[in-house]
Amino acid sequence: MNIGDKGLDLIKSFEGLVLTAYMPTPQDVPTIGYGHTKTVKMGMKITEQEAVILLKKDLGWVETAIDTYVTVPLNQNQYDALASFIFNIGATQFRKSTLLKKLNSGDYAGAADQLPRWNKQKGKVLNGLTRRRKAERELFLSKAVIANKTKTSKGLFSGLLALFVALLAIFKSKKG
């Protein structure tokens, strides 16, 4: 599974688009685009198109974290909410979290209830993080179709379909 439009929109709405490098908070790191931090130096400038490209590249590690650490099925909304959360707190913090432990034990509601706890930076409650966690929790708890967590199901199906078509062609050629 990959992040969907709701997840991208959620991240974009909270990260905001800034085309010149800046410091989001005094103890933070230089940031540009939609929360991109790698390779950023103060004074750097990008276009909106470059910001979208950077965001999509940045989400690769987030998707890897979800695929690696989450062992239960997720629907698209749960996946998107987790992607926003992990993009903000990092894979290491997610891996160590009570949220992940609850989620992997099948306690989806308990996992969702952990999100609001992650609204602090250096021990101080930040209103922006409080709003973000509320939005992530609402998305996580909203209804969506359950997706198959098996990473190879699409590839396996495509391979079997190709094999079937090839066998059908062989049988037809032997008949005629």
Q: What is the pLDDT of residues 127-136, one digit of tens each?
A: 999 999 999 9
Task: Check whether 75 has a pLDDT greater than 50.
Answer: yes
What is the residue whose two structure tokens read 């930040």?
Answer: 126
| Residue scoring higher pLDDT (139 or 122) | 139
* Residue closest to 149 by CA, chosen among 70, 62, 58: 70
pLDDT band at 144; cut points 50, 70, 90: confident
Q: 5-145 architecture in CATH?
A: Orthogonal Bundle (1.10)
Rounded to 10 degrees, the C-alpha dihedral 113/142/4/137 comes to -20
Domains of the chain, by residue range, sit at 5-145
pLDDT computed for residue 147 by the predictor: 52
Q: Which two tokens stand for residue 133?
A: 């966690």
Task: Check whether 157 has a pLDDT greater than 80.
Answer: no
Distance CA 121, CA 114 (A): 16
- Among 15, 48, 136, 138, which one carries the catalytic annotation? 15
Task: Check whether 163 has a pLDDT greater than 50.
Answer: no
Mean pLDDT, residues 68-80 taken together? 97
CA 83 to mean position of chain CA atoms: 2
Contact between residue 34 and residue 54 where contact means Cβ atoms under 8 Å apart: yes
For the question of residue 48 being annotated catalytic, the response is no
Mean pLDDT, residues 10-25 taken together? 93
Task: Check whether 25 has a pLDDT greater than 60.
Answer: yes
